[in-house]
Amino acid sequence: MAKNLNITEIKVKSILNKHKKRDPWFLDDYSINPYKGCEFNCIYCYTKGTHYGGTLNQPLSVKINAPQLLKKELSNRAKKGEYGFIAVSSATEPWMPLEKSYQITRKCLEVIRDLKFPIHCLTKSPLILRDLDILLEIDRKAILPEDLKEKDLSGVRITVSFCSLNQKIAKIFDPSVPSVEERLKLVETLVEKGLDVGIAFMPILPFISDKEEELEEMVKVAKELKVKRVYFSPPTLFGKGKVIFFSVLKKHFPELVEKYEKLYVRGIPAKSYTQDFYQKVKRICNGYKVNLIV
Ligand code: SF4
């Protein structure tokens, strides 16, 4: 367990969130978050500006009753045949160091396996490999939602994320996350195990990790690792999250502060930037025949 963390054990009233609409990128209809707050504490994390992140007094909470609750809530959905992908997780890292001792994510996966739901795992952590046994079982047993049965989808989809392939940049913006090298190795291992893996280059940092050569390197790496798909997106910055991001920007890239202020008048970057960005990314992915999800 990481030292000097202010950790609270909490009991929550519900754990399974049903989305109003299926996520078009990751295909999840549901999400669960076994923890509140995140030990990785990435500078660009969107949860910092929302109620999903931890608070000053309670930066990190363990939802100790999550597996029991999930069993109850998911059984109800299974009885009605309401199968759908579950995002594990949408607002925290499910395999953060704390999970080594608490094993809340692992216990939730056991419930999901027993009730045969498919999952999408979004992670930056090689600790996911500890749970390969259950992931492979879920992959074999999961029942897909009716309208996705025709598509050739796996019961377990995993996405590993990066903000840059440059370790110096990653160290500034996600300092507590396993290194770029460790995450690339993780992707390689998951692919070797026969799992369905994608890479999320999210968030790509404007004027920092969005240079044509770096984007091309990312696509090339994804191709070499034989992932099924890639995602690209700039960060969303608002509220407290924006303040934290700008303080780091000021320290490490003071010359970019003004450019970011103009770019982020709202929580998302100006349209002119995103249009150019996606044109560039699409062109590169087409060139390498890499499946880009947009
Ligand atoms: S790992 Fe994900 S959830 Fe955790 S701080 Fe980083 S971006 Fe946020």
Residue 70 sits in a domain whose CATH number is 3.20.20.70
Residue 234, pLDDT above cutoff 80: yes
Q: Report the nearest atom of ligand 1 relative to the CA of 124.
A: 1
Does 2 fall in a domain?
no
Question: Is 68 inside any structural domain?
Answer: yes
For ligand 1, residues with CB inside 6 Å are 38, 40-42, 45, 47, 92-93, 124, 174
Atom of ligand 1 nearest to the CA of 46: 8
User: Ligand 1 atom closest to Cα of 91?
Assistant: 3
With a cut of 60, say whether residue 58 has pLDDT above it. Answer: yes
Q: Maximum Cα–Cα distance for the chain, whole Å?
A: 57
CA–CA gap between residue 99 and residue 193 (Å, rounded): 22
Distance, CA of 219 to CA of 12 (rounded, Å)? 40
Is residue 116 included in any domain, yes or no? Answer: yes
**DSSP 8-state class, residue 146:** G
d(CA 202, CA 217): 15
Q: What is the percent of the chain where pLDDT is above 90?
A: 93
Q: What is the mean pLDDT of residues 224-238?
A: 97
Query: What's the CA-to-centroid distance between 44 and ligand 1, angstroms?
Result: 8
Residue 75 lies in a domain: yes
270, part of any domain: yes
pLDDT of residue 4: 57
CA–centroid distance, residue 150 to ligand 1 (Å)? 33
pLDDT in tens, 94-128: 999 999 999 999 999 999 999 999 999 999 999 99
What is the whole-number distance in angstroms between the Cα of residue 254 and the centre of ligand 1? 24
Report yes or no on 294 lying in a domain. no
The parent domain of residue 76 ranges over: 7-288
> Beta-carbon neighbour count of residue 279 at 10 Å?
10
Structural domain contains residue 246:
yes
Domains contained in the chain, number: 1
Spatial CA neighbour of 145 closest among 229, 23, 32, 27: 27
Residue 164 lies in a domain: yes
Q: In Å, what is the CA distance from 113 to each residue of 101, 124, 126?
A: 21, 22, 20
- Among 125, 167, 159, 186, which Cα is nearest to 2's? 125
Mean pLDDT score across all residues of the chain:
95
Ligand 1, atom nearest to 174 Cα = 6
The protein residue whose alpha carbon is closest to atom 6 in ligand 1 is 42
